Amino acid sequence: MKNTIKIERAIKYLTQEALANEIGVSRQTINSIETNRYVPSTLLALKLSKVFDKSVNDIFELEEND
Amino acid sequence: MNSSQNNLRLFPRYFNKIGLGIILGIIVFMLLSFFEIFFIDKEVAKTITKTLFLISLLIFSITRSKIEDELTVAIRLKAFAASFIFGVMIVIVDPFVNLVFEGVFLLEKGAVELLISMLLFYFFMVFLMKKNR
């Protein structure tokens, strides 16, 4: 599953640390999600969509092998 | 929404100090028995030391880390699964190792030693997975 968190973060001028603090996870977790090493739970995905003011489908996208 | 869904109900952070206290207690106990300040049977001393060490490792393994989120929960669960498999592998392989080196097909590891190995492997796996996250 790919995502656009890095882009959304850049649009909002947010660092990984700032985003992590906002949704209550570690900076490493944000990094893992951005680099597609970890797929977040629905709860975390919804928190991210709230921060970026976009729907989950706009941030996360299924790939062919998913 | 159920906020405890991703929580493992771990011990609070101050339990790390309790674990450390137990390890310090073990060291003091070992020094006292080594210098024969009080007399205690060697086997009894060994059993007490191993059991206390196991308790401290268990406390460390189920105490919250500084930052606990859903990724660290996933790491903990994967590490516990890996250490369980590691324990099973020890039980399977150990008799063969004994057969090669001592000529007896026996499992020589006791339950406490096995559990200590599993917990140490758990910490190693958590360390590796946290480093590579």
Measure the CA–CA gap between B41 and B55, rounded to whole angstroms: 21
**How close, in Å, is residue A18 to chain B by CA atoms?**
15
Query: Interface pTM (ipTM) of the complex?
Result: 0.83
Measure the CA–CA gap between B83 and B91, rounded to whole angstroms: 12
Q: Which residue of A has its CA nearest to B1?
A: A43
Superfamily of domain A2-61: lambda repressor-like DNA-binding domains (1.10.260.40)
For A4-62, the pLDDT digits (tens) are 999 999 999 999 999 999 999 999 999 999 999 999 999 999 999 999 999 999 999 99
Which residues, in sequence order, are CB contacts of B83 under 8 Å at separation 6+? Answer: B118, B119, B121, B122, B125
Spell out the domain ranges in chain A: 2-61
Per-run averaged pLDDT (10 residues), chain B, 133 residues: 63 95 94 82 89 96 91 95 96 92 85 96 96 86
pLDDT value of residue B1:
43
pLDDT value of residue B66:
87
Contact yes or no for B133 and A31 at CB 8 A: yes
pLDDT value of residue B9:
86
Number of A/B CB contacts below 8 angstroms equals 32
pLDDT value of residue A54:
94
CA angle, residues B77, B18, B61, in degrees to nearest 5: 10
Q: Which residue of B has its CA nearest to A45?
A: B70
Measure the CA–CA gap between B11 and B16, rounded to whole angstroms: 9
pLDDT value of residue B2:
46
Contact yes or no for B1 and A43 at CB 8 A: yes
**How close, in Å, is residue A65 to chain B by CA atoms?**
22
Q: Which residues of B touch A (CB under 8 A)?
A: 1, 5-6, 67, 69-72, 74, 130, 133
